[in-house]
Amino acid sequence: MEQDPIKSNSEKESDRYKPLELEKHWQELWAKTGLNNTPEPHEKQKCFYALSMFPYPSGTLHMGHVRNYVITDVIARIQKMKGYAVLHPMGWDAFGLPAENAAIERNVDPSDWTDQNISQMRIQLKRLGLSIDWSREQTTSHKDYYKWTQYLFLELFEAGLAYQREASVNWDPVDKTVLANEQVDADGKSWRSGAKVEKRNLNQWFLRITDYAEPLLEDLKKLNDWPERVLTMQKNWIGRSAGVEIDFELENHPNLLLTVFTTRPDTLYGVTYIVLSPENNIIDQIIDESLKSDLNKFRDTISKLSSLERSSEGRDCIGMPIGVKVINPINGDLIPIWIADYVLPDYGSGAVMAVPSHDERDYRFAHKYKIPLKTVVLNEGIDKTKEDNKPWIGDGILTNSDKINGLTTDDAKEKIIEIGKDKGWARKKIQYRLRDWLISRQRYWGCPIPIIQCKKCGQVPIPKQDLPVELPKDIKLNVKGKSPLNNLETWSNVLCPSCGLEAKRETDTMDTFMCSSWYFLRFADPNNSEMPFSQSEINKWLPVNQYVGGIEHAILHLLYSRFITKALNKNGLHRINEPFEKLLTQGMVQGVTYLNRNTGKYIKATAIKDCKNPIDPDTLEKLEIIYEKMSKSKHNGVEPSTVINRYGADTARMFILFKAPPEKDLEWDSADVEGQYRFIMRVWKLVTSYKSKDPLNNILDVNMATTSSKLNSKDQVLNRAIHNAIKSITEDIEVGLQFNTAISELMKLTNSMNENINLVKKSIANESIITLVKLLAPFAPHIAEELWKRIGGVKSVHLEIWPRYNPDALISDSFDLIIQIKGKVRGSIKVTTNLEKNEIEKIALNSEIARRWLDGKKPSRIIVVPNKLVNLVP
């Protein structure tokens, strides 16, 4: 293990910077003294909750994790120094498919595999020197956690928010088992057997998130400190659409009504066919007998398509007529009914009034099946549909539309609604894209759903005092059938808690998103054995003040967490409405990648002779150098431990923060890490050599009262640098979350100290050293702690008060700017030297003097003599 990549020979042994030794020493001491334990906030102390999205315990820590946790750590540390009681916890999102797959492939126990991974990752994480309170650690696959996940499921069940209905799953017809989506490859084949995966309907559990569509959408407006991009993604996912439902009577079925959902009621006269989703149940009641076998074939074809495929733009849609007609309620026209793949079963009513003249997909479909078109909207008097051979989908003036001819699109919509409402065949309707959340998984390694299925009583919740429903051990995973748990009759056969008859346990487990949609609540009260959490602890810590994580969770995890928070609020479990106040989505960490464009192959750096002009060793073709997200398949990963082993965690932390603003992607370049290490060394030398000049004097004892008036010009320069650094770094972290510029400011301060420290008053020199170490502490906690001790610190630097800047010290040399009105001196004001001309003008114009003498008039001319006077001529 290399200790000192950059050698410096002239130092005494005790003065050498040995990051590995030093970091280990402090980490052990911090753990022993409980430095990172969450404090009980004292009276009036404000609380701050800093949280990183907790990791899946894959076994190895990658650079993306490092970036995520270091960002949160800096925020947690600065808030602590600013006097907040800080909660900064960590846990493991530990259920999920990889453990089960590993178990099948390697014949290990998923729980052992997971726990081993956690221990490995915990060690790796600890080496980063994060200020995490490990006593609050949570693991979602441990029963003292999932007991409460089950408890909360029952809360939702009692509130009517958990229900069962049929939904399709992926079925492997060879292995005869249900597959997760991740186990089906891009060609729709099983990862295990390679068989073409089929869809099968099973009774599955859903959470009624759609009940919360409106508040989930509405409250996005309150999340002012979330990235705009995430808010937009959430909004689109919820997909609110204000439209109209219109009922059509059927020609030969007087008792049936067919309802469509439309956002364009104005085009009602332009409807030339109706399309139903092939799944729509009404079809079976009305279809012409002779078409029944065609229908079955058609449905078979459709069942192989995903809803994403079916709704994708520009594809060739397929359909068939079913030999039945509806009556257009506005004019009595008879319109044929078709079924087609592009109508989705679970949006609106699964039925569309098709207007091929004014809708893209209807147009292409009508063209393909030779269905007539009818233009009802003119654009500036022109039939654009006919003229351009494509539908006119914009607004316009109505034509061919009897009662609404000549109206604008908007007026026509209102008029149709008015008529239809009057006659009873139309009503306004708000529609959402958001679907209920399917939480059932037919897998072993998940949180068991605490329900007993009784033939007599139906779904019976397990009494809360009997929780947890534990996952059985020693179970065969590689089995055929619905799920591994389903095969274990000793576990699934139980007596009904309600009637005492023989019944069956629910064998589905929960989607892991369920485990992660409330963990931030548990951290507030991690050891509560009576309840998932207490109101008082939630009120104390939540909402999370700063949440940090990947953009890949911008939709589901955040939406589910918001939903669960709102639902539990309604159940009276707490009074929080939104879980995450401020959100930062950090960019990806990318590595140098060598790509052969011709073969599409990624080449290992070790196989390349000259990395500046890389050549494919096999084909001798020139390689492209690009940056891509680090991954094994691209041979571009850098192991965090290699960096830490060489330079120490402080350098790794500083580098990852310095290289790019947190929300941007970061291009990892190992050469730059060296540069960061050099900076740390410079700080080390600066502080240790300053101290060693006067080893007996404890610089922390020096009275720091410094007012700029008593300072000479060199003193002022360094003093200004100190206070500038305090101001900029504080604002960069707290307001802008711009850690890269904050580190630049640290560098500036260090440069100014190197230039001036030997030329200034001792009090200023001391203050600069003290301030530098404190400002460094959140970024590079170990070296800061060591330096702090060396300059006489008794308690930890991390318990010190974050420095405050003195605004007076920021003013560089100032002078009295003379203000003249029409050439006459009317007064002067103190301003900084070397201001721009327009700044001086602005100051003069806004001055009391100008207000008094100009009487609100604008001067016709302004004369500026730099660093001297302004003459305002009215």
Residues in contact with ligand ANZ by the rule CB under 6 A:
241, 243, 261-264, 267, 277, 343-344, 347-348, 350, 352-353, 355, 358-359, 431
CB 773 within 8 A of CB 687: yes
Residue 101's binding partner among ligand ANZ, Zn ion, none (Cβ under 5 to 8 angstroms by kind) is: none
- β-bridge mates for residue 601, sequence order: 596
Tokens of 730: 């504080």
Q: How far is the CB of 500 from Zn ion (least distance, A)?
A: 7
Nearer to Zn ion, 352 or 452 (CB): 452
343 binds, among ligand ANZ, Zn ion, none (CB under 5 to 8 A by kind): ligand ANZ
Binding site partner of 263, from Zn ion, ligand ANZ, none, Cβ cut-off 5-8 A by kind: ligand ANZ
Nearer residue to Zn ion within complex by CB, 453 or 719: 453
- Residue 285: CA count within 13 A, CB half-sphere: 11
Name the binder of 344 from Zn ion, ligand ANZ, none, CB < 5-8 A by kind.
ligand ANZ
Which option in ligand ANZ, Zn ion, none does residue 450 bind, with CB closer than 5 to 8 A by kind?
none
Using the rule CB under 5 A, which residue among 50, 76, 340, 454 binds Zn ion?
Answer: 454
Decide whether 155 or 359 has the Cβ nearer to ligand ANZ: 359
Shortest CB 302 distance to Zn ion, Å: 39
Q: Please, which residue, 259 or 708, has the CB nearer to ligand ANZ?
A: 259
454 binds, among ligand ANZ, Zn ion, none (CB under 5 to 8 A by kind): Zn ion
Closest CB 451 distance from Zn ion, rounded Å: 12
Name the nearest CA neighbour of 172 among 200, 205, 132.
Answer: 200
Rounded to 5 degrees, what are φ and ψ at 381? 80, 0
- What b/e string do you get for 712-747 counting C-beta neighbours within 10 Å, with b at 16 or more? eebbbbbbbbbbbbbbbbbebbeeebbbbbbbebbe
Residue with Cβ nearer ligand ANZ (267 or 766): 267
Q: Among Zn ion, ligand ANZ, none, what binds residue 576 when CB lies within 5 to 8 Å by partner kind?
A: none
Cβ neighbours of 464 (radius 10 Å):
13
The span of 92-100, 202-210, 450-458, 665-673 binding Zn ion (CB under 5 A) equals: 450-458
Nearer to Zn ion, 464 or 678 (CB): 464
822 Cβ contact partners less than 8 Å away, ≥ 6 residues apart = 871, 872, 873, 874
Site string for Zn ion, 474-503 (x = CB under 5 A): ----------------------x-xx----
Q: Decide whether 355 or 717 has the Cβ nearer to ligand ANZ.
A: 355
Sign of the CA dihedral with 163 first, then 168, 173, and 177 last:
negative
Phi and psi torsions of 63, nearest 5°? -60, -30
- Name the binder of 566 from Zn ion, ligand ANZ, none, CB < 5-8 A by kind: none
Q: Count of CB atoms within 10 A of residue 13's CB?
A: 6
**What phi, psi does 475 have (nearest 5°)?**
-115, 145
Q: Which is nearer to ligand ANZ, 431 or 756 (CB)?
A: 431
Cβ contacts of 743 within 8 Å, gap of 6 or more = 654, 657, 658, 779
Q: Smaller CB distance to ligand ANZ: residue 351 or 515? A: 351
456 lies in the site for Zn ion, by CB under 5 A: yes
Residue with Cβ nearer Zn ion (152 or 496): 496
Element (H, E) at 585: strand 583-586
Burial class (CB in 10 A: 0-12, 13-18, 19+), 262: buried
Kindly state the smallest distance separating residue 509's Cβ from Zn ion, in Å.
Answer: 22
Count the site residues for Zn ion by CB under 5 A. 6
Question: Choosing among Zn ion, ligand ANZ, none, which partner's interface includes residue 241 (Cβ < 5 to 8 Å by kind)?
Answer: ligand ANZ
Q: Which does 730 bind (CB under 5 to 8 A by kind): Zn ion, ligand ANZ, none?
A: none
Beta strand pairing call for 440-441 and 177-179: unpaired
Which DSSP category does 732 fall into?
I
Which entry of ligand ANZ, Zn ion, none binds 350, CB below 5 to 8 A by partner kind? ligand ANZ
**Partner from ligand ANZ, Zn ion, none contacting 498, C-beta within 5 to 8 A by type:** Zn ion
Cα–Cα dist 603/304, whole Å? 37
What is the distance in angstroms between the CA of the first residue and the CA of the last residue of the chain? 76
Q: Which does 457 bind (CB under 5 to 8 A by kind): Zn ion, ligand ANZ, none?
A: Zn ion
Smallest gap from residue 262 Cβ to ligand ANZ (A) = 3
The count of other CB atoms within 10 Å of the CB of residue 617 is 12
Q: Rounded to the nearest whole angstrom, what is the least distance from the CB of residue 456 to Zn ion in the complex? A: 4
| Cα atoms in the Cβ-side hemisphere of radius 13 Å centred on 252 | 9
Q: Return d(Cα 200, Cα 472) in angstroms, integer.
A: 27
Of 392 and 739, the one with the shorter C-beta distance to ligand ANZ is 392
Residue 337 has φ and ψ, to the nearest 5°, of -100, 135
Please report how close the Cβ of residue 298 comes to ligand ANZ at its closest, in angstroms: 16
Residue 261 binding: pick among ligand ANZ, Zn ion, none (C-beta 5-8 Å cut-off by kind)? ligand ANZ
Return the structure tokens found at 337.
């009914």
DSSP string, 819-858: EEETTEEEEEEEEETT--HHHHHHHHHTSHHHHHHHTTPP
- Our CB check for ligand ANZ shows the closer of 261 and 779 to be 261
For 54, the token pair is 């907790």
Tokens found for residue 357: 């003249």
Touching Zn ion, residues 279-298 (CB under 5 A):
none
710 membership: H or E segment, kind and range: none
Q: Which is nearer to Zn ion, 496 or 780 (CB)?
A: 496
Backbone dihedral angles phi then psi of residue 640, each to the nearest 5 degrees? -55, -40
Tokens of 48: 């701050």
- Least distance from ligand ANZ to the Cβ atom of residue 268, Å: 8
Query: Cα separation of 163 and 169, whole Å?
Result: 17
Q: Least Å distance between CB 259 and ligand ANZ?
A: 10
Q: Which is nearer to Zn ion, 406 or 458 (CB)?
A: 458
Q: Minimal distance in Å, beta carbon 499 to Zn ion?
A: 3
CB of 351 to ligand ANZ, least distance (A): 7
- What is the contact surface with Zn ion in residues (CB under 5 A)? 454, 456-457, 496, 498-499
